């Protein structure tokens, strides 16, 4: 993992206020890639021009790939951005209450995967904590891995996995080659408390990263932060780059 990405959802408010300046500051912090989740006012064309000027790759996008009506548009955006991965980033927690619901969503993901693959892209699923919480039918993510087509990979949010009760190292090792991207957060590993710059919370990334070598990219994402978000992302980049070198 020689590259370091950042999920632009982290700076959604800053992007609306100053898209170009915000992305420039992230590039200056040492990030070499950006993962998109919406456009925050920028067109695909203007975003591509900006990313190319700054030398930023776009490894992946979060998008509503399960919506069949939007799927062609989503795939077109991913191709236009030069992304490799399209990520289904969210299935509501209530949908994991029964096995039949999990089976239904896995069938939808497998259906979407046909179109994603036909476009030369790879479909990934991104977890939150609830995919690791036990139900009477088992651990949701473990069930999903059995039901999903093997070509569908995982963007593992290692922080949310810990919040859900998983051992981070075990979670990484269980995925094997299906681990394609790693979402890196830090904080107290609780559901609702603000997150912290990487290196300031409970996550031990020097220990975790050697178990995540299957991932193409580690991608920093802070959903919320009680301090200045851009400063927290700058600290996170410095920390990650220091332990990745």
**How does pLDDT run across 84-96, given as a tens digit for each residue?**
999 999 999 999 9
Instruction: Identify the CATH homologous superfamily for domain 5-244.
Output: Divalent-metal-dependent TIM barrel enzymes (3.20.20.150)
Tens-place pLDDT, residues 28-79: 999 999 999 998 888 999 999 999 999 999 999 999 999 999 999 999 999 9
Q: In the predicted model, what is the mean pLDDT of residues 116-140?
A: 98
Q: In the predicted model, what is the mean pLDDT of residues 153-166?
A: 98
Could you give the 3-state DSSP secondary structure of residue 245? coil
Q: What pLDDT shows up at residue 27?
A: 98
- Distance (Å, whole) CA 69 – CA 65: 9
- Assess whether pLDDT exceeds 70 at residue 1: no
Q: What pLDDT shows up at residue 44?
A: 92
| Residue 245 pLDDT level (bands cut at 50, 70, 90) | confident
Tens-place pLDDT, residues 222-242: 999 999 999 999 999 999 999
Q: What pLDDT shows up at residue 186?
A: 98
Phi and psi (nearest 5°) for 133? -85, 135
- Assess whether pLDDT exceeds 90 at residue 3: yes
Q: What pLDDT shows up at residue 41?
A: 84
Global pTM value: 0.97
Q: What pLDDT shows up at residue 240?
A: 98
Which of 144, 172, 176, 145 has its CA nearest to residue 158?
172
Q: Across the strands, what pairs with 88? A: 125
Phi and psi (nearest 5°) for 211? -95, 0
- Assess whether pLDDT exceeds 70 at residue 189: yes
CA-based torsion, 75, 77, 83, 87: positive or negative: negative
Q: Which residues of 19-34 are buried (b: 16+ CB within 10 A; e: fewer)?
A: beebbebbbebebbbb
Q: In the predicted model, what is the mean pLDDT of residues 196-225?
A: 97
| Residue 19 pLDDT level (bands cut at 50, 70, 90) | very high
| Residue 117 pLDDT level (bands cut at 50, 70, 90) | very high
In three-state form (DSSP H/G/I as H, E/B as E, the rest C), the secondary structure along 34-47 is EEECCCCCCCHHHH
Question: How far from 229 is each of 31, 42, 49, CA to CA, in Å?
Answer: 15, 20, 25
- Assess whether pLDDT exceeds 60 at residue 111: yes
């Amino acid at each position: 993992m020689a590259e370091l990405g950042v999920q632009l959802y982290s700076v959604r408010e800053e992007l609306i206020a100053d898209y170009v300046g915000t992305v420039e500051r992230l590039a200056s912090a040492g990030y070499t890639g950006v993962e998109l989740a919406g456009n925050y006012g920028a067109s695909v064309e203007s975003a591509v021009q900006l990313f190319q000027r700054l030398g930023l790759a776009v490894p992946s996008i979060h998008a509503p790939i399960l919506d069949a009506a939007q799927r062609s548009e989503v795939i077109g955006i991913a191709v236009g951005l030069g992304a490799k991965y399209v990520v289904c980033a969210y299935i509501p927690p209530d949908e994991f209450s029964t096995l039949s619901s999990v089976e239904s969503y896995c069938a939808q993901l497998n259906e979407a995967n046909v179109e994603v693959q036909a476009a030369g892209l790879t479909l990934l699923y991104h977890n939150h904590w609830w995919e690791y919480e036990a139900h009477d039918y088992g651990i949701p993510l473990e069930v999903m891995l059995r039901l999903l087509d093997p070509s569908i990979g995982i963007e593992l949010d290692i922080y949310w996995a810990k919040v859900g009760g998983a051992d981070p190292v075990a979670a990484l090792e269980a995925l094997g080659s299906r681990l394609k991207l790693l979402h890196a957060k830090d904080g107290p590993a609780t559901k609702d408390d603000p997150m912290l710059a990487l290196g300031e919370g409970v996550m031990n990334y020097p220990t975790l990263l050697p178990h995540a070598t299957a991932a193409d990219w580690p991608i920093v994402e802070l959903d919320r932060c009680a301090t200045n978000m851009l400063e927290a992302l700058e600290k996170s980049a410095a920390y990650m780059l220091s332990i990745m070198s």
